[in-house]
Structure 1
């Protein structure tokens, strides 16, 4: 990809914003080096890893902390004669410690279920080096006493000498009554030897060696003669300590040298994962998506916004950045954008180009879900004033020279952006040249987007097969742009209105209007009419979308009310059942009366529950009535009120009911409460019955299904607890819980809760053809 293209589209600015989201300097530097990926397979893998990183970051599976750049240690490891110093070892230990935590968080799970997990688990690992550094280095960055027996022994003796010196000095000061003559504490260190800080005018009170004076001259540091031998021994021990530390550092360096390849691989893994987490954070800031990128796909960017505008405005929630759908049909390769000056045409071109570059670089883009892009191997940009005084080039000449240089490299995998191409020369000749260039690009099969004011190119965009015309709308009342793109029409340039808005004298504008009428070239009234119609259509579409959202809200509220009514009914019946049981146990109600009261309560639950469920089904999708005549013993049906599949044993045409067996229990069910076994299931108590999951694990139709994918662990725990309660109240015995594969963290949390729940009889992962370790099958007591 040309550096000129990246610069004109401001891709380096996006990379700077990305670098600011990395936690370490090495990762920030790596972010600034990102460029479009030349291999489609590598791009697909990077996008897959980023999608997994977005989910892991959202689940807080791992949090990065700043780590140092350790590139400088590798030349040392490459030399047999050099040894890493303590600072380098501490830096290496910090890096390997964070990689170990990363491996612990992400490195578990079945191979093949997560690309990022496989990369982390499969990366070479310097086990010996990391273990040795963890054992030898203290939290404060020093070597532990236990790093070697020699170091432990010499430090023990140093501490013993320190204690001896403190005791002897304290005794000396007490015996000689030296307290009033000391400037500071009893003992201090000067020139790496223990000394007494005496007031200068009392220095003759102590026999010893003067080592130094304070800056004010008021304190003299004297080493008493009785400490000389002890200080000498201390110096010998400190030399031994330094030698022991050097041997430990040499040993650790040797381990790192032996595992040099593994150390480098672990460091690269940590940097690359930090970059991935920065990309995931950028996706969060942009409110963006990962578009599908592949050869043969159309340009299909939904709700696209310029990423720099989104970030400058404060993030994805900022409404001031107007989204645009940049869409071409499969057979279309060109987009001609027209409209007013300062109306947003160039921003549309830059948005398309920059989002394409970001997608090719495996970055999230500021567009909606479902966006797709072709795989562009090359992007060429003609934006702005390319005039060069040094090279004696006009704007027009510079454009032509650049196009001539890249023309042989343009093919079907190329995107070309043309902003006012052909301007700067005779308008009729410039327009003809622009049309010819667009023709040539289409003949090569290239994709293109062009912004223009040429009337001829506007008509060309409406008539040329493979090209789609669009215009940036403006408010007809104020003549100001509304920054909305309308397709399959062209727009006016409204140059005179823009000039008036920016303060050009009115007499000049009136004269310009007369000249325009004399030339006979004013199509403004037609364009104004087209713009007005398009703007009204866009506003009508907005009103329809708002009404649809309002209706969806009303339906959601109605469903919630129905769910609450059903929950209230179940709670009432449960309380009634408990009261009947208490009265029976107290002897106030006989066995037969208690059984009859419970049967009446069960009948009320079925009747009212059927009524509520029927309301829900009518709200969602009316169920087809079951034909009892066509039913035969052995057929399977679904009991609507219970959401269970049952087997027909006999039927009573007079009562319009059938005796069915469900879960080993036989009961009579009215025909109105039965549906074909494969009929769509209703919702009960806010939980979907036999709902098909989003991935490969089909619902069995034998129980409830709960989909927890994408939830945080705490939210999933609450949802699962409520789900189990609702299933128990409605008598369901078999459940299906979809948690997805991912890192396995959500699955482990689900299994922990199931293991602790008193009403769960057993649970197990689903068979491979039912979702494998992405779904858990549960049996209730």
Structure 2
């Protein structure tokens, strides 16, 4: 990407703003070094990673906190030329500890976070992590339990300290020198135990004076009885250093063995920090703007045309949000029609033409970097691999180059490369020379760009270029809007029209003499005045249209919100009906089991309950009538009252009913209660997985009469499987009386079915020995 364009569009300021949300110096450096990707697949990958990070963060299980920068230490490990100290070890401990926590959390949600799961899919340096957690304390010192040798040495050091303290107290009491002591009984000077005494104590006892305080009022005195103890102290200190060096060598060796895993863990944390910055940037956009106004902070999708709705200039929005009393920042719509390649923006000075160009350019660069941008949801952008901005002063006094010459040099340098992957932003291109020649050159340049199929947005005051925009295919005109009464800019674009320059109005606004303005008006040609009048009327019409569109947008938003509320209400009522159905069906089953009602009566009431539920749901929503001719055996349908899938077994056109298999339940349903949800499919076979429905606990009937024993047994096994999955407590199997062979076969199956608690022949009124009733455990 052209560095001049990055500078002109203030791309680095966006990165600096994003970097301020990072948790580490390494993360900040990674953000500041971000540049637009040239591969669409790379962009989409990091967009998805950002989306996953936002989802993960919303779950609240893991929060990224500040962590130290170990990149210099990692470089030394790679070079095998490092001499780590406890600070290095402590920093590495904090990094691996945080990385471990992140990996565990991502693993818990790996089905929802597949890309983040891939990022941590590396061999975690468990040995290095365990060693650091065992050896390094929170204050960056080595723990006693780092090694048996270190523990022994430090135990002896503590014992020696207690011994010294006891003997010093005895010494002070014996020679009555307590009034010479300064504060504590004992301190350390030159790594030796000494007594801090007043300077006038000098010469009163034998010993060694090691030092004086800065004021000279305190001397540090080592009595002779402490000399041997201090010598032993030095030996123990040396042993402690040797033990620590052994630990450092062992842990360093682990680092070198697990270098790849440590590097991966570090890179994973830096990636999370970069996404933390992106999330912070996204949140900053909406800090003081409601989402109801259409603003979102997310990564836009790429397509074949430009459609940025409610697009804010990112830097203006962020800087404005910092203010205690921010003035509203106006968004604009940047839209290309299907075949547009060039957009020409005209209108008055200070109306927002350059801001429109910069908004598109900066959002384009940020989108190519997979950064979130402040636009309305549903916006899209073209995948431009090169964005060149001809904005600002390209003058160079050192090279004796004017602004016009600088623009031409810039354009000539890329002209041969231009294709459909380029976006050019031209701010007053050709304005630095004779107006007629500059306008002609600008039109010719746009012609060349159309031939090369590249994209361009041009801001201009040239009348010829305004006419060009209205009369050429592939070119669209737009105008910045002004309030004709206040002469103030509205910072909005009106498409398919041109705008008049407001040089005199702007000059008047900024205090130029009225006499000069009157003289300027006299110099204006009459036809130019008439042309400006026509354009002013068009501007007024466009302003009114924009107000109407804004009103319609608000009404549409209200309608969407109302629809969502009604949908939520409907779903709550459906759930309440289903709960009521379950409770009443369970009540019926309890009444049947307690023999308060017969099975037939329970089934009859349950059928009425189903019908009532279906009727209530039908009142909630109207469905298109089902195609009766398509209801053939094996067709998959949805049973609306229960919102469950089923398969057609047979139809009764005259009665307008269809016999369905609903997870093993065979029942007749009305045509109006079903709808086709898929292509014809085979009925459920044994072993197929069915969808669990709410536990109904009513009896379910299978009729096996007239069937061969082997087919009947197969059907019975499938029936029992489906009834169990569907949640039924009891089933009824009709096998008839006959010779009793089928009944015997059925009973054999029931005996061998592990989850059947009991079975028995039905009562005489329910079928006698022609039917068997079975109960699940």
TM-score (norm 1): 0.77
Name the structure 2 match of 1:413.
421
Name the structure 1 match of 2:55.
55
Question: Aligned equivalents of 1:614 and 1:506: distance in 2?
Answer: 75
Name the structure 1 match of 2:266.
267
| Aligned CA distance change for structure 1 residues 14 and 730 (closer, same or farther; 3 Å) | farther
Where in structure 2 are the equivalents of 1:554-565 lying within 5 Å? 554-563=562-571, 565=573
Name the structure 2 match of 1:493.
501
- Is 1:342 the counterpart of 2:350 in the alignment? yes
Cα distance, 1:581 vs structure 2: 8.9
| Aligned CA distance change for structure 1 residues 616 and 333 (closer, same or farther; 3 Å) | same
Name the structure 1 match of 2:293.
none
Give the one of 590, 596, 614 matched to 1:591: 596
Name the structure 1 match of 2:550.
542
Indicate conservation of the 8 Å contact 2:636/2:677, yes or no.
no
Indicate conservation of the 8 Å contact 2:426/2:457, yes or no.
yes
- Is 1:614 the counterpart of 2:618 in the alignment? yes
Higher mean C-alpha deviation, range 102-111 or range 325-334: 102-111
Question: Aligned equivalents of 1:234 and 1:15: distance in 2?
Answer: 55
Cα distance, 1:729 vs structure 2: 8.8
Name the structure 2 match of 1:146.
145
Question: Aligned equivalents of 1:729 and 1:470: distance in 2?
Answer: 65
Question: Aligned equivalents of 2:412 and 2:449: distance in 1?
Answer: 13
Name the structure 2 match of 1:301.
308
Cα distance, 1:524 vs structure 2: 1.7
- Is 1:516 the counterpart of 2:524 in the alignment? yes
Higher mean C-alpha deviation, range 146-155 or range 40-49: 40-49
The superposition leaves residues 337-368 of structure 1 with CA deviations (integer Å, 9 ceiling, x where unpaired) of 11221111111111111111112222222233
Where in structure 2 are the equivalents of 1:533-682 lying within 5 Å? 533-563=541-571, 565=573, 591-592=596-597, 603=608, 606-607=611-612, 609-618=613-622, 622-624=623-625, 638-645=638-645, 662-665=662-665, 669=669, 672=672, 674-678=673-677
Question: Aligned equivalents of 1:330 and 1:174: distance in 2?
Answer: 99
Residue segments in structure 1 that go unaligned for 5+ positions in a row: 681-699, 705-723, 734-758, 763-779
Question: Aligned equivalents of 2:332 and 2:627: distance in 1?
Answer: 49
Cα distance, 1:99 vs structure 2: 2.8
| Aligned CA distance change for structure 1 residues 257 and 639 (closer, same or farther; 3 Å) | closer
Name the structure 1 match of 2:288.
none
| Aligned CA distance change for structure 1 residues 566 and 399 (closer, same or farther; 3 Å) | closer
Indicate conservation of the 8 Å contact 1:559/1:616, yes or no.
no
SS of 1:252's equivalent in the other structure is: helix
SS of 2:34's equivalent in the other structure is: coil
TM-score (norm 2): 0.77
| Aligned CA distance change for structure 1 residues 593 and 129 (closer, same or farther; 3 Å) | closer
Name the structure 1 match of 2:195.
196
Where in structure 2 are the equivalents of 1:756-771 lying within 5 Å? none
The superposition leaves residues 720-754 of structure 1 with CA deviations (integer Å, 9 ceiling, x where unpaired) of xxxx9xx56999x9xxxxxxxxxxxxxxxxxxxxx
Give the one of 369, 381, 390 matched to 1:373: 381
Give the one of 284, 287, 298 matched to 1:289: 298
Indicate conservation of the 8 Å contact 1:336/1:449, yes or no.
yes
The superposition leaves residues 218-277 of structure 1 with CA deviations (integer Å, 9 ceiling, x where unpaired) of 444322222221111111111221222223223333333444454444433432332233
Name the structure 2 match of 1:255.
254
- Is 1:221 the counterpart of 2:226 in the alignment? no
- Is 1:506 the counterpart of 2:514 in the alignment? yes
Name the structure 2 match of 1:328.
336
Name the structure 2 match of 1:235.
234
Name the structure 2 match of 1:478.
486
Question: Aligned equivalents of 1:26 and 1:205: distance in 2?
Answer: 60
Cα distance, 1:576 vs structure 2: 7.0
Higher mean C-alpha deviation, range 174-183 or range 345-354: 174-183
Residue segments in structure 2 that go unaligned for 5+ positions in a row: 286-295, 680-687, 701-724, 729-775
Question: Aligned equivalents of 1:529 and 1:227: distance in 2?
Answer: 102
Indicate conservation of the 8 Å contact 1:644/1:701, yes or no.
no
Question: Aligned equivalents of 1:48 and 1:658: distance in 2?
Answer: 46
**Root mean square deviation, CA, Å:** 4.1
SS of 1:84's equivalent in the other structure is: coil
Indicate conservation of the 8 Å contact 2:589/2:697, yes or no.
no
Question: Aligned equivalents of 1:644 and 1:265: distance in 2?
Answer: 47
Question: Aligned equivalents of 2:478 and 2:531: distance in 1?
Answer: 17
Indicate conservation of the 8 Å contact 1:335/1:468, yes or no.
yes
Name the structure 2 match of 1:10.
10
Name the structure 1 match of 2:756.
none
Question: Aligned equivalents of 1:121 and 1:153: distance in 2?
Answer: 41
Name the structure 2 match of 1:526.
534
Name the structure 1 match of 2:319.
312
Question: Aligned equivalents of 2:338 and 2:697: distance in 1?
Answer: 50
Name the structure 2 match of 1:84.
84
SS of 1:288's equivalent in the other structure is: strand
Higher mean C-alpha deviation, range 479-488 or range 558-567: 558-567
The superposition leaves residues 52-90 of structure 1 with CA deviations (integer Å, 9 ceiling, x where unpaired) of 333333334543222222333356446667522222232
Cα distance, 1:182 vs structure 2: 3.3
| Aligned CA distance change for structure 1 residues 614 and 547 (closer, same or farther; 3 Å) | farther
Indicate conservation of the 8 Å contact 2:40/2:383, yes or no.
yes
Indicate conservation of the 8 Å contact 1:112/1:118, yes or no.
no
Question: Aligned equivalents of 1:650 and 1:272: distance in 2?
Answer: 59
Question: Aligned equivalents of 1:445 and 1:416: distance in 2?
Answer: 12
| Aligned CA distance change for structure 1 residues 565 and 46 (closer, same or farther; 3 Å) | closer
Cα distance, 1:660 vs structure 2: 5.7
Cα distance, 1:702 vs structure 2: 7.8
The superposition leaves residues 303-344 of structure 1 with CA deviations (integer Å, 9 ceiling, x where unpaired) of 32211122223299x993333232223432111111221111
The superposition leaves residues 618-642 of structure 1 with CA deviations (integer Å, 9 ceiling, x where unpaired) of 3xxx432676x99788877644322
Name the structure 2 match of 1:441.
449
Question: Aligned equivalents of 2:689 and 2:343: distance in 1?
Answer: 49
Question: Aligned equivalents of 2:83 and 2:635: distance in 1?
Answer: 81
Name the structure 2 match of 1:738.
none
Indicate conservation of the 8 Å contact 1:570/1:729, yes or no.
no
The superposition leaves residues 452-489 of structure 1 with CA deviations (integer Å, 9 ceiling, x where unpaired) of 11111011011111111111222233232222222222
Higher mean C-alpha deviation, range 243-252 or range 8-17: 243-252
Structure with larger Rg: 2
The superposition leaves residues 1-57 of structure 1 with CA deviations (integer Å, 9 ceiling, x where unpaired) of 221110000000011011111110111112111112234443343333333333333
Question: Aligned equivalents of 1:625 and 1:404: distance in 2?
Answer: 66
